[in-house]
Amino acid sequence: MARPSLKLDLPDAIERREILAGRRKGIDLDRLGERYLAAGWLCDAIECFEASGNRDRLMELVPLVAERDIFLLQRLSRMPGVVVSKDDWMRAGNKALEDGRNLQAVIALDAAGDKERAAQARARAEALRAEIKPPEPRHGAGWA
């Protein structure tokens, strides 16, 4: 028997998988998606709305997703009936830059068509990577 997640009375990962696979009948996926969204579980909410075919609700989530998660935005952009505009990508890229998520900014700015700013974000990410020094190998220390 599946246990509820935390005190939110949401399905755990196994039960959610069963629900989304269609093995649990009588579940209102839109309602479940709204519950996940209210709990802050954006990815799970999107999975429910996608499974229910609720393209309108997915379109409503595009601005929120653009502010939070470039990878979810990419996923939304690949869904039939969901349109992610250049403005959405630009907003996502600007937010990623503001948050210091340079590699995510590259993805969003490229999608927005702003190649110059994407190149600047890529250069910043590469500069940060160059500052990181790999640890010195420790001979004779085993795997420690």
pTM: 0.79
Question: Are 44 and 83 contained in the same domain?
Answer: no
Q: Is the pLDDT of residue 3 over 80?
A: no
Q: What is the pLDDT of residue 94?
A: 97
Q: Which of 36, 94, 84, 43 is nearest to 60 (CA)?
A: 84
Please tell me the total count of domains within the chain: 2
Least confident segment among 102-111, 125-134, 135-144: 135-144
Lowest mean pLDDT among 19-28, 66-75, 90-99: 19-28
Residue finishing a domain among 33, 53, 73: 53
Tell me which residue range forms the domain holding 83. 55-131
Indicate whether 78 and 112 sit together in one domain.
yes
Claim to verify: residue 81 and residue 126 sit in the same structural domain: yes
Looking at the domain assignment, is residue 143 inside a domain?
Answer: no
Query: Are 76 and 121 part of one and the same domain?
Result: yes
